Amino acid sequence: MDSIYTDGTYLRNNPQWHADDSAWKAGHVAAILERNRIAPATVCEVGCGAGEILVELSRRLAPGTRLTGYDISPNAFAICSRKRAANLDFRLGNVLDEGVTFDLAMAIDVFEHVEDYFSFLRRMRAKATYKIFHIPLELSALWVARREPLIRQRRAVGHIHHFCKETALATLEDTGYRVIDHAYTAGATDLDGYGWKSRLLKWPRKALYRMDPDAAARLLGGYSLLVLAR
């Protein structure tokens, strides 16, 4: 599966490399760090894509924070490397193969793409004191019943594993992480660019989420899980 990120397939399917929702994701990352009083001096992002999350974080974190993005895709690197700055660097390659460590390592919408994601997570654990994951929660009752959305995510964005909140947290615990904090993020209701079916579900999702966030994620979907761990 790694070939789709290096042979141009992923770029053809996702020409913006998801840069359009990066400010939204960076805001959630900054919020969970602030809520837990964590101020990292060094940050890396595994699978940084277009690099926009790190660009946004460089504006939100303390001055002097050093941020480094890694991606295995030459196409992604061609995009993000143009965004280098004094405290912001990008590298083509796999940080898990390098002898470097950071205060914070992030994998934002990443390990659902990785064939052996258990090994990936175990290796990532040694890369930083704190880790942040953003995990799409695609195992909702609605998506399982419809089936087609799961296949679409596989073909369009390379999601070869699917999670609900419980399996995502269990996966992190099984690979040696201690979860410190977690929170839902609501891409389907917060962001534009979704199809008409998602727009129809926007208000039912919001209404159910106000009553029972777990039920909203489990039944209607459209949510991801942001996790802070050690």
Listed by start position, the domains of the chain span 3-137+147-189+223-229
Residue 11: the pLDDT is 64
Quote the pTM value: 0.92
Q: What is the mean pLDDT of residues 167-180?
A: 98
Q: CATH assignment of 3-137+147-189+223-229, given 3.40.50.150, 3.20.20.70, 3.40.50.300, 3.30.1380.10?
A: 3.40.50.150
| 218 Cβ contact list (under 8 Å, min separation 6) | 140, 141, 164, 165
Report how far residue 102's alpha carbon sits from residue 228's, in angstroms, rounded to the nearest whole number: 15
Lowest mean pLDDT among 24-38, 144-158, 185-199: 185-199
Residue 12: the pLDDT is 73
DSSP tag of 18: T
| 125 Cβ contact list (under 8 Å, min separation 6) | 131, 175, 176, 177
SS3 80: helix
Report how far residue 150's alpha carbon sits from residue 113's, in angstroms, rounded to the nearest whole number: 13
Task: Give the start-end residues of each E strand in 38-123.
Answer: 42-46, 66-71, 88-92, 102-108
For strands 102-108 and 42-46, give the pairing.
parallel
106 pLDDT more than 70: yes
DSSP tag of 20: G
CA distances from 224 to 28, 78, 140 (A): 11, 28, 11
Radius of gyration for the chain, computed over Cα atoms and rounded to the nearest angstrom = 17
| % the chain with pLDDT above 70 | 93
193 pLDDT more than 70: no
